[in-house]
Amino acid sequence: MVQAYRADTGNGGAGPQRTGSRFRDLRDRLTRDPGIWRRGIVLAGCSVLLALVMLLHAQIPNTIGNLGSLTETFLPWCAVFVPLLLILGLVRRSATALIALLLPVLVWFNVFGGLLTDKSGTGGDLTVATHNVNADNPDPAGTAQQVAGSGADVVALQELPSGKVTAYESALADRFPYHSVQGTVGLWSKYPLSDTRPVDIKMGWVRAMRTTVTTPEGPIAFYVAHLPSVRVKLHAGFTASQRDQSADALGKAISHEPLERVALLGDLNGTMNDRSLNAVTSQMRSTQGAAGDGFGFSWPASFPMARIDQIMVKGVEPLSSWTLPATDSDHLPIAARVKL
């Protein structure tokens, strides 16, 4: 029996000998090519830098072109650099670069991994939707009906040009008996509205409003807002100063809200990661972060890269959050289901 075992294990190097030979081959290659550790130092440094950007993004200053806010707006897209660094590390045959690449991968999953799971639940008392319809939308009625078809009880619309308000009102009249338009924003509801008024967000014209929606489960304050647009310019960087000022004014208005239950719907031209929106985000929860499935990017509609359209709540439990199919706008509509 001993002889049979020896003959069997010695047949072509199968079994333990084959596994051992693989480790010896790897050891021999590493020994013959010590440069595998010396090459790729710059690539390894890039991996470390990428990890630090994700970990310490709040420390990137905004004093130069609002670079910190720009980074935070597209922070999840740091992941696109990982495959590039992987390919370069393989081309360079650098063990150092490949090992260092584990650092940004682990950091990314630590920061954003929770958004990859489906946290949506069932039930709820109220479905809400919001959409920047785009002032140049060629089909206002079709866009309004498409958003209303989501089954929402409350719909907020932004970027309503005065000449097209009637078209939106006519398209939504059958589904929503109550509505109010303040400046370029409006809210439509299946339940009565009261205490409706514009909100001053320091723009010189009305792009935010507040109203009370009296639901069967009690009143809830709704804010609808369209914060100023931001631009990336070579000579000025990320031009977001006016948006930041408006965000501070909006956050102050919400902080003085007497009702316990509050919802904010609108185009904030910024993400939840952007520190410049702290006046708002510090006191409210994002329905996408709490009860969504994925990142829920909403802009641009043709290739969504950032969630700048938001449904945020306080005193209310988010149960689910999702994006709706594209309309003729450059934004995707979003919706959420909440428990009051």
Residues 294-319 pLDDT 10s:
999 999 999 999 999 999 999 999 99
| Residue 163 confidence class, pLDDT cut points 50, 70, 90 | very high
Angle (CA) 139-140-144 rounded to 5° is 120
**For 28-72, how does the pLDDT look when each residue is reduced to its tens digit (9 = 90+)?**
665 566 678 888 999 999 999 999 999 999 999 988 888 999 999
Of the given ranges (227-236, 252-261, 282-291, 316-325), which has the lowest mean pLDDT?
227-236
CA distance 120 to 125: 14
Provide the CATH topology of domain 126-339. Answer: Deoxyribonuclease I; Chain A (3.60.10)
In the prediction, which pLDDT does 2 show?
46
The predicted structure's pLDDT at residue 38: 83
Query: Would the pLDDT of 187 be above 90?
Result: yes
Question: What is the spatial distance between Cα 124 and Cα 287, in angstroms, rounded to a whole number?
Answer: 13
Q: Give the lowest-confidence range in 30-34, 208-212, 260-264, 289-293.
A: 30-34
pLDDT average, residue stretch 222-233? 90
State the pLDDT confidence band at 7, using cuts at 50, 70 and 90. very low
Where exactly are the structural domains of the chain?
Answer: 33-116, 126-339
Q: What is the CA radius of gyration of the chain?
A: 27
